[in-house]
Structure 1
Amino acid sequence: MTPTTSIARWAAPLGIALAAASMPASAFEPSGTECIAPAGAGGGWDMTCRMVGKTMQDLKLLPGTMQVTNKAGGGGGVAFAEVVNKRNDENNLIVAASSATSTRLAQGAYPGNTMDQVRWIAAVGADYGMIAVAADSPLKTLPELLAKVKADASSVAFAGGSAVGGWDHLKVLIAARKAGITNVRSVKYVAFDGGGEAVTQLLAGKVQAFTGDISEVKGFVDAGKIKVLAVMAPERLEGDFAKYPTAKEQGLDVVGANWRGFYAPGKMSDDAYNYWVKSLGATYDSKEWKAIMASNGMAPLNLRGPAFQKFVKESVDEIHELSLEIGIVKK
C-alpha cells in the first residue's frame, strides 16, 4: 500500500472522540514535559510544539507548561540522532515531525538512523498538496495534464518550491504513477527557492504547471492568476477551499499531505506512550485545536498510535522507492 492510499484509508476519524474530562487513568504521570522542535524558532516544527503544548496546558492534560527546545541541524537529523543515542528511554519527551521527516528518513539523510528507532505518536493535521496551471491554460483537469505528460513528457515542466527529490517533486511523481506513467524519471520538475518564485515562472510561461500546498495558492487563485486542477485530499476541503476539486473525484486515487505530528523515544514505556497517544488525540478532538487548525490553514488528518506508525512506514517505503527511481537514493 502506498502512502497516498494509506492517507485515504486512515484519514477518517479513528474511534470515539476523546474529551479532556474523560481521559482514562494511566500508570504514567507526566512531569517536566518537553517538546523538541528540530529547527530554529519560528518554523513549522517550532510552531507545532508551541501550539500543541499550549493547547494541552489549556485542556489540563499536562501539569504546568511544556518546555520547547529548539535543536536545529541536518533537516531534523541532529534532533533525531540525539533522541536515539542519548535520550531513548525518556518518557516525558516528544519531538515534532512532518512529511519532511519521513522524506529525509526515506532518502537516508539521517545517516545511521531509521524510522523504527523511535515510536510514532500521532498526527495533528495536514496541509494538502495541489497541482495548478495558469488561469488562461486550456487544461481543465489533472487527468488532462497528466495525459499530456504521458504523450510527451518534454512538453510539460512542473515548478515547485522544494528541491529535486523534495515533497513538491514527489507529489507530482505519485500522481504520475497513478496516471499510468511508468518512467517517472521522464517527468520534468524545476526547483525554485519557494512557491512564490515557482508561481512567477508559471505566469511567465517558463513552466506549464505548479505543484505546492493548498495554503500557498489561495491568494493567486482569488487574484485570477492560476487555476487549481486538483487538491490531493481524501475529500473536498471545507470553507474557502471547497471549490477546488480533488484528484480522487477525477479518477486518480492519490492523496498527498504535508502532515504534522510527533514521535517519541524508541524505549519510551508503553504506559507513557499510551498517555501521549491519548492526550494528543484528546487535543486533536478539542474545539480549541479545531480553531487553531482553521486559523493556520491546516486540514484534518486524524492518525494515532499504531495507525500513525503504519502510515509513516508506508510513506517512507513509497518515498524510498520513488527516490531510487529518480536517482536521489543510490542502490
Structure 2
Amino acid sequence: MTFAKTASALLLTSFLVSPAFAQEIDRPECVAPAKPGGGFDLTCRIAQQGLEKQFDGPMQVTFMPGGIGAVAINLFNTTRTDDPNAIVAFSSGSLLNMATGKYGQWGAGDVRFLATAGTDYGAVIVRDDSPYKTLKDVMDALKENPGGVVMGAGGSVGSQDWMKAAILMKSEDLDPRQMRYVAFDGGGDAIAGLLGGSIQVYTGDVGEMVSHLGTGEMRILAAMSDERLPAPFADIPTAKEAGYDAVWPIVRGYYMGKNVPDEAYNKWVEAFQAAYKTDEWAALVKDKGLLPLDLSGKEMDADMKKRVERMTGIAKEAGLIQ
C-alpha cells in the first residue's frame, strides 16, 4: 500500500472511530420534553445548577414539547441516539407512558437511565380564589356531580397526572370515567389553564409549586404523600389526613440515548455522584421542593426498568392496556 493510500485509510479510520460524541462532554445539555414552567423544566434546572462545577461550560436547557415526552424519546432513538452531551428529563409519568405504550414503539429498553434528581409527590392545586378551600370541598363536589368539577393536568387520559385524579375519585368509589378532565401538554400549560380559568382543579406535583408559594395565585389543598412533607410544605395536609387513600410518589431523573458509549455515560454518572456528595446539591434539591433520592448508573437503570414493569402490571389491572 502506498503512503498516500495508507494516509487516506488512517484518515478515514479516524473519522470512523472519532464519533460525533467527543470523549469530553463539552456541550452539556438537558432536554425538558415540555414547555417551560412544569416539572421537566424543574428537573433540568436541578441538573443545570447542580452540575455546574462538574463541567467547564454552562449546561443548556432545551425545551422539546410534544406528547409529554414522545417527541423527545423519538428523537433520542433516531438522530441523537448516541449523543454524549445530552440528557433528557423524565418522571414517573414518563415511565407510565412507556408502560402503557404511549411512546409507540419506544419503551424502557430504548434509553439508558442515568441518574435521579430526587423524589416528588402529587398535589391537588386550586386557584387562590377558588371556592374549594379544602380537599374535602373538592371531593364533596365530585360526589355530588362527578362531571361538575373541571379537573386538568399535563397529560392525557391514562397519564400520571390523570392517574392522580383517578386515584382520588376511586378513594370515594367514584368512576374515573365520569371525570371531566382537560389534558394539557405539560405542567406549565396546565398551570396557565388553572390561572386562566380553563380548569378548576390541577392534579400536579408538589415540587413545581415552590416558585408559586406566597404569590397569592394558587393554593395546594393536599399533598399525595404518606406523611407530611418537610418545609416549605410542612403546613400542607396530606390526602390521607383528610381521609382519602390517595398516594402518588414521583421520581424525577434523566436518561440518555441507548447507543451512548460507556465512557460518556460513565462520565455523566461520575458527575452526578460527585454532585450528590455536596451540600449544594442537597440544598438545591430541597429548594426545588424535592426529597433526596441519589441513584445513578446501572443501579438506577435497573430500578427504573423494574418500575416500568410494575406499572405495566397496574395498567393492565386498570384496563388501560390489554
Tell me if TM exceeds 0.5: yes
1:125 matched to 2:137? The reply is no
Q: Identity of counterpart residues, as a percentage? A: 24
- Residue-by-residue CA offset, 1:58-115 (whole Å, 9 max, x unaligned): 1xx44x336647473644444423433455456x344222235335434534332112
Alignment-derived partner of residue 246 in structure 1:
238
Question: Among residues 31, 34, 44, which one is paired with 1:37 in the alignment?
Answer: 31
Alignment-derived partner of residue 161 in structure 2:
168
Alignment-derived partner of residue 198 in structure 1:
194
Alignment-derived partner of residue 89 in structure 2:
97
Question: Among residues 62, 74, 83, which one is paired with 2:76 in the alignment?
Answer: 83
Question: Among residues 49, 55, 58, which one is paired with 2:50 in the alignment?
Answer: 55
- Quote the offset at 1:245 in angstroms: 1.4
Contact 1:36 1:49 (C-alpha < 8 Å) held by counterparts:
yes
Contact 1:164 1:191 (C-alpha < 8 Å) held by counterparts:
yes
Output the CA distance in 2 between the equivalents of 1:217 and 1:71: 20
Contact 1:156 1:188 (C-alpha < 8 Å) held by counterparts:
yes
Computing the radius of gyration over CA atoms, which structure comes out larger, 1 or 2? 2
Output the CA distance in 1 between the equivalents of 2:213 and 2:49: 33
Contact 2:224 2:248 (C-alpha < 8 Å) held by counterparts:
yes
Name the amino acid aligned to 1:241. Answer: F
Output the CA distance in 1 between the equivalents of 2:172 and 2:205: 23
- Residue-by-residue CA offset, 1:38-59 (whole Å, 9 max, x unaligned): 558966656755652553341x
Q: Structure 2 unaligned runs (5+)?
A: 1-21
Name the amino acid aligned to 1:37. Answer: V
Residues 180 and 273 from structure 1, CA distance in 2 versus in 1: closer, same or farther, beyond 3 angstroms? Answer: farther
Output the CA distance in 2 between the equivalents of 1:39 and 1:132: 22
Q: Give the secondary-structure state (helix, strand or coil) at the position aligned to 1:160.
A: strand
| TM-score normalized by the length of structure 2 | 0.65
- Quote the offset at 1:32 in angstroms: 2.7
- Quote the offset at 1:210 in angstroms: 4.1
- Residue-by-residue CA offset, 1:175-199 (whole Å, 9 max, x unaligned): 344x263743233324575324425
Alignment-derived partner of residue 204 in structure 2:
212
Residues 201 and 315 from structure 1, CA distance in 2 versus in 1: closer, same or farther, beyond 3 angstroms? Answer: farther
Name the amino acid aligned to 1:112. Answer: Q
Q: Give the secondary-structure state (helix, strand or coil) at the position aligned to 1:171.
A: helix
Question: Among residues 284, 289, 294, which one is paired with 1:298 in the alignment?
Answer: 289
Contact 1:129 1:213 (C-alpha < 8 Å) held by counterparts:
yes
| TM-score normalized by the length of structure 1 | 0.64
Residues 56 and 220 from structure 1, CA distance in 2 versus in 1: closer, same or farther, beyond 3 angstroms? Answer: closer
Count residues in correspondence. Answer: 286
Contact 2:30 2:89 (C-alpha < 8 Å) held by counterparts:
no
Output the CA distance in 1 between the equivalents of 2:161 and 2:35: 24
Output the CA distance in 1 between the equivalents of 2:301 and 2:228: 22
Q: Which stretch of the first structure deviates more once superposed, 126-135 or 277-286?
A: 126-135
- Residue-by-residue CA offset, 1:8-30 (whole Å, 9 max, x unaligned): xxxxxxxxxxxxxxxxxxxxx96
Contact 1:107 1:320 (C-alpha < 8 Å) held by counterparts:
no
- Quote the offset at 1:231 in angstroms: 0.4
Name the amino acid aligned to 2:295. Answer: R
| More RCO (CA 8 Å, sep 6+) | 1
Output the CA distance in 1 between the equivalents of 2:135 and 2:77: 45
